[in-house]
Amino acid sequence: MSGPELTVGRSVIVELVRLAAFEVPGVARVGRGGAAWRRFVGGPAVSVRIRDDRVVVRLWVVARPGQPLGTLTAQIRTTVAATVERLLGLDLGAVTVLVDGVGG
């Protein structure tokens, strides 16, 4: 007999990823940069796919000015991975972070 099964909706994973990324100092916003219309037509700021029982995450952020982007994206990947694995018990396949702007 196996243990209880947990089903987590994709929207829950998306929200946890968004919140985890926003916890990283230097992230001004989780979302696309530029004009509001561009953000609207550009699609969601966080996309999550399940591939071979692993979570694949892609997210766009706007960085605060003066942040070293390589360090920032590495911190975001680490934080998102820890959150997905710790809170959801899911294996993370990949986290792709795209910096789509700099601003406050």
Q: How confident is the model over 21-59, as pLDDT tens digits?
A: 999 999 999 988 766 656 566 678 899 998 888 899 999
pTM given for the model: 0.85
Topology annotation, domain 10-102: Alpha-Beta Plaits (3.30.70)
Rounded-to-integer distance, Cα 53 and Cα 23, Å: 26
Q: What is the pLDDT of residue 3?
A: 65
Continuous H helices in 1-104: 10-22, 36-41, 69-88
